Amino acid sequence: MGHMQRSSAWRSPLTWKQRAMLAVAVFAGCCAAVVGWSLWVDRWIDSEVQSMSVAGDRVLQVEVGTCNAEHRTTLRESATEVRVRFEHRRNTKDTCLDRVTIRLEGPLAGRPVLDAATGEVLDPTDQ
């Protein structure tokens, strides 16, 4: 039997260097997609304030729709207003509220409480 040669139709149109570069590019793209997804999932999301009440002159009780997710509160006080921002990680499909206690540095003394994310005034009720 004689030796059969492959026809040029069976040859890859890419050189081995091009194939290696393509493999590296695909791998890098997959890594970037995984990292991007994890950053998106781990991002901080503004939490929706459901209700707020005042307990004394320096304590706010706020219910936010975070449903047991990791959450954080940022507080900024001035002589004229109190700004509060609520954020959480991993948006959950559960519908429950978490109660957050905020201790003010000074008495509320008629200062409005604003949601720092929306700029809306939060209307506290006396407890």
Closest CA to 117 of 78, 88, 79: 88
CB atoms inside a 10 Å sphere around CB 17: 8
Closest CA to 53 of 44, 62, 45, 41: 62
Closest CA to 83 of 107, 104, 109: 104
Spatial distance between the Cα atoms of 55 and 61, rounded to a whole number of angstroms: 7
**Using an 8 Å Cβ cutoff, are 99 and 55 in contact?**
no
What is the DSSP code (8-state) at residue 84? E
pLDDT tens, residue by residue, 17-38:
888 888 888 887 766 666 555 5
Considering the entire predicted model, what is its pTM? 0.62
pLDDT tens, residue by residue, 31-60:
666 655 555 556 788 888 888 998 888 999
Q: Residue 127: pLDDT above 50?
A: no
Closest CA to 124 of 50, 54, 20: 54
